[in-house]
Amino acid sequence: MNARGALGRYGEDVAAALLQSMGMTILCRNWRCVAGELDIVARDGDALVVCEVKTRRSMSHGSPAEAVGPRKMQRLRALALHWLDEAEIYIPTVRFDVVGVILPRTGAPIVSYLRGVE
């Protein structure tokens, strides 16, 4: 795995731990289909949570969450429908969350969590 892949994997591990600490159940990670990838799919009570994880080394190009714009949200919605179809389950509420992780060269990671991103 290259350095960029390792950084992304680390951020996803941090995000998964955060979601679990909030009482969510991780259903899958890094789910892929021909249309793209979902970082984390979780269950939060009666809601399905599709969580996009963005990890950066610094804020020099903006916050990680700023990388999740309207185009990315449109893609996540389509991927969520694919996931639900493949999983063959019905969950009436789907929510999109974003976890941003900044991993500076020294010190602890800085984690931000946005719930219900539209």
Find the CATH number of the domain harbouring 31: 3.40.1350.10
Q: What is the pLDDT of residues 17-61, one digit of tens each?
A: 999 999 999 999 999 999 999 999 999 999 999 999 999 988 888
Task: Count up the domains in the chain and report the number.
Answer: 1
Q: What is the pLDDT of residues 51-104, one digit of tens each?
A: 999 999 888 888 888 989 999 999 999 999 999 999 988 888 999 999 999 998
CA-wise closest residue to 95 among 48, 54, 45, 43: 48
Buried b (16+ CB within 10 A) or exposed e, 26-48: bbebebeeeeeebbbbbbbeeeb
d(Cα 96, Cα 77) in Å, to the nearest integer? 8
Supply the range of the domain harboring residue 32.
3-114
Residue 20 — left, alpha, or beta (φ > 0 → left; ψ -120 to 50 → alpha)?
alpha
